[in-house]
Amino acid sequence: MLQIKTPAQLEEFREGLLSKRDPNKPCITLCSGSACHASGSTEVAARLEEELKTQGLADQVDIRRTGCHGFCERGPIIVIHPDEICYFQVQPDDVAEIITETIKGKKIIERLLYTDPVVNEKIIHESRIPFYKNQERLVFGSNGSIDPKSIDDYLAIGGYSALSKALTAMTDLEVLGEVKKANLRGRGGAGFPAGIKWEGSRNAPEPIKYVIVNADEGDPGAYMDRALLEGNPHCILEGLIIGGYAVKANEGYFYVRQEYPLAVINILHAIKEAERYGLLGENILGSGFNFKVHVHQGAGAFVCGESTALMTSLEGKAGEPRPKYVRSNVKGLWERPSVLNNVETWANVPMIINKGADWFTSIGTESSKGTKIFSLVGKITNTGLVEVPMGTTLREIIFTIGGGIPGGRKFKAVQTGGPSGGCIPEDKLDLQVGFDELTKAGSMMGSGGMIAMDEDTCMVDVARYFIAFLTDESCGKCVPCREGLRQMHRILTNITQGKGKEGDIELLEELAETAVEASLCALGKSAPNPFLSTLKYFREEYEAHIREKRCPALSCKELINFYIDPEKCRACGTCRKQCPASAINGDKKIIHIIDQDKCTKCGTCFEVCPTKFGAVTKLSGVPVPPPLPEDQRTIKKKSKENE
């Protein structure tokens, strides 16, 4: 059994690995993260192996199943090294052609390339694609080049060299000092400086301490932690061991949500591999430092991402936050000093140790250093994971990298920071992303969720949606959160249904104040943000719903009506045939009419009416014009009318 006992042995082993790897040998990397798995990458992988075998290339070409590359919109993704040829949306049936044409014949398959929508040009190399080109993938970048199940892959890219440096060339205090100096702030939401948190634990008198990875990622639409856990588990593990050394903890935990099965598998595998290599366990690399790691799966509660609730849950109790005014880095898990950091925070640690705090602080803004991974979803052309330096503007992220809003629609707002974040309007798009910058704008960094919204999105409904999510996820312990959110949700629902009353906004503001000021934990304290930020920037939408019973975005079902413009209807019958409620009357050459009593407002007619007619419209806040008298509904030929 291989056991690496000294830093020298580690380097020797690494060199051995590299010498056996031919950089010119073709290697097909295939994204096998959860998103690509869902779009069929497992079948593609099977076909690749089969095809290489039948074409007699099994030992001449490597296949590497990697973690998420981030461009999930276009998965499954294949990159062929060393030429870095990048194919998107690869299906099993494309595989044979890829092997024959590209691997054997060195020819590019145009069809599978990315087309730049602006200049309408095909792009061959991954790094030239605008989505990737404008990112800075310091933490996330290795995902595309390593097999998360292979510790050798991680070692080959320099893995565990930071651990080796920390344990043998630095004292624990020096490691702590470096992280403090780097001003690494928590990537989980609050942005608390990790170094200061670590120092608090280190200085706490209790001798048994813990370090914990918060992998209970639960924000709707956010999956950057999942991508790291699945794609590069060793990087997080290495950061955790270094953290343990710095705070004098000999035990660490991964608290992973149960809904991330692949992450759990990969982390468990990584721990086993690291133990087998002697990078985890007793006397790591001959330093005298001992460290062991456990994995705990959550049971499906969003609130368990909150530090004290997570620790209560780790102890085996119901996941509810603790009311005590004691920081968990001093009294946390089993009343012992416990450092809890988010997945991405831990993943930054090896890099800081390797390259130094001065390098790290050269990236980012005054108060937010390094990069941040954002999960870009919603009404956006390029859905995916995006890593950019702190200080990048929202405009660059959404338009340059994200490719803007699809379907020719207009951008309206971006929701950042997860459910308890806020919505930022268009005139704030030049805001630089950073912890304090986003908070100042009424939103927050959160864990990095970013949901783009277009003009068809109703901001009152957005607030209702997020408050509904949080009401559902409240643990129910304290009154301001449990009862306050319940009532906020009711009032917001009423407003979106046209049942809003004068005074509702003020009532919501009162409930928001109570939740912000008096809730037990951060979930309740930040829960009113979706309401407060949409009220701040889109107050007129609230007023239109309440006073005019009008939804300006034409989105709230109860406040809109579908109407066929008799001037535009050409009686093509498409809407009539597809209406699931049989609510449309009409016939050949007879202008179509929607029976408002039967209409369920599903929107099918609006979707299917040919663009060249555009006869179906949405009305809100105005009465539906009465239908034409039956004798006037016959469509006469235009030419005749002109005569």
Partner 1 sequence: MSDIEFEIDGKKVTADKGMTVLEVARKEGIYIPTLCHHEKLEPFGACRVCIVEVESRGSTRLVVSCVYPAEKNIIVRTRSPKVDRIRKTIVELLMAHAPDAPQLLEMAAVYGAVPNRYEKDPSFCIHCGLCVRYCAEVAKKHALGFVDRGVHKEISFIPEIAAKECHACKACFPLCPTSYLQAVFVLTEALSFPDPAKTK
**Cα separation of 583 and 595, whole Å?**
5
Region from 30-38, 212-220, 332-340, 475-483 binding partner 1, contact rule CB under 8 A: 475-483
CA–CA separation, 226 and 469 (whole Å): 20
Q: What are phi and psi of 337, to 5 degrees?
A: -55, 125
Tokens 């070409």, residue located = 61
Residue among 525 and 568 whose Cβ is closer to partner 1: 525
Among 361, 514, 578, 585, binds partner 1 (CB under 8 A): 514
Q: For partner 1, which residue of 296, 331, 412, 477 counts as binding (CB under 8 A)?
A: 477
Site residues (CB under 8 A) for partner 1, limited to 273-312: 301
Determine if 478 is a binding residue for partner 1 (CB under 8 A): yes
Helix (H, G, I), strand (E, B) or coil at 216: coil
Is there binding between residue 510 and partner 1 (CB under 8 A)? yes
Nearer of residues 300 and 614 to partner 1, judged by Cβ? 300
Asked if the peptide bond before residue 82 counts as cis, ω within 30 degrees of 0, the response is yes
Is residue 330 close enough to count as binding partner 1 by CB under 8 A? no
How far apart are alpha carbons 32 and 65 in whole angstroms? 6
Residues 551, 559 contacting (CB under 8 angstroms): yes
78-81 and 85-87 strand pairing: antiparallel
Nearer to partner 1 by Cβ, of 439 and 514: the residue is: 514
- Euclidean distance between CA atoms 613 and 13, whole angstroms: 69
Strand partners, 594: 584
476 belongs to the binding site for partner 1 (CB under 8 A): yes
Rule CB under 8 A: say whether 315 interacts with partner 1: no
Residue number with CB closer to partner 1 (100 or 487): 487
Quick check: 318 binds partner 1 (CB under 8 A)?
A: yes
For partner 1, the closer of residues 101 and 513 by Cβ is: 513
Candidates 536, 539, 418; CA nearest to 469 is 418
State the minimum distance, in angstroms, from the CB of residue 321 to partner 1: 9
Is position 68 an interface residue for partner 1 (rule: CB under 8 A)?
A: no
Report in angstroms how near the CB of residue 488 gets to partner 1 at its nearest.
10
Residue from 194, 511, 556, 571 in contact with partner 1 (CB under 8 A): 511
Question: Which H or E element spans position 518?
Answer: helix 504-518
Considering the rule CB under 8 A, would residue 505 count as an interface residue with partner 1? no
Is 195 one of the binding residues for partner 1 (CB under 8 A)? Answer: no
Whether residue 375 contacts residue 359, with contact meaning beta carbons closer than 8 Å, is answered with no
- Comparison of 68 and 470: residue with beta carbon closer to partner 1: 470
Smallest distance, partner 1 to C-beta of residue 305, A = 14
Taking the complex as a whole, the smallest distance from the CB of residue 510 to partner 1 amounts, in Å, to: 6
DSSP state of 417: S
**12, 83, 315, 517: residue in contact with partner 1 (rule CB under 8 A):** 517
Instruction: Determine how β-strand 251-256 pairs with β-strand 210-215.
Output: parallel
Q: Which stretch binds partner 1 (CB under 8 A): 6-14, 47-55, 322-330, 393-401?
A: 322-330
Q: How many residues bind partner 1 (CB under 8 A)?
A: 31
Rounded distance, CA 467 to CA 457, Å?
16
Query: Within its chain, how far is the Cα of 73 from the centroid?
Result: 13
519 forms part of the interface with partner 1 (CB under 8 A): yes
The window from 216-224, 226-234, 346-354, 465-473 that contacts partner 1 (CB under 8 A) reads 465-473
324 touches partner 1 (CB under 8 A): yes
- Write out the E strands in 313-448: 338-342, 371-378, 384-389, 411-416, 422-425
Pick the closest to residue 241 from 232, 253, 229 (CA basis).
253
Q: Judged by CB under 8 A, which of 403, 480, 528, 552 binds partner 1?
A: 480
554 to 593: interface string for partner 1, x by CB under 8 A = ----------------------------------------
Q: Which residues contact 453 (CB under 8 A, 6 or more apart)?
A: 378, 379, 411, 412, 413, 414, 415, 423, 462
Q: Which is nearer to partner 1, 163 or 520 (CB)?
A: 520
Query: 490, 499, 557, 618: which one contacts partner 1 (CB under 8 A)?
Result: 490
Residue 509 binds partner 1, judged by CB under 8 A: no
Nearest Cα to Cα of residue 87 among 108, 107, 103 = 108
Q: Are 249 and 201 in contact (CB under 8 A)?
A: yes
Considering the complex, state which of residue 169 and residue 507 has its C-beta at the smaller distance from partner 1: 507
* CB hemisphere CA count around 467 (13 angstroms): 30
Contact call for residue 467 and partner 1 (CB under 8 A) = no
Contact call for residues 534 and 462 (beta carbons, < 8 A)? yes
Span near partner 1 by CB under 8 A; candidates 39-47, 60-68, 330-338, 512-520: 512-520
Sign of CA pseudo-dihedral 200, 204, 207, 208:
negative
Residues lying near partner 1 in the complex (CB under 8 A): 301, 318, 323-325, 471-480, 482-487, 490, 507, 510-511, 513-514, 517-520
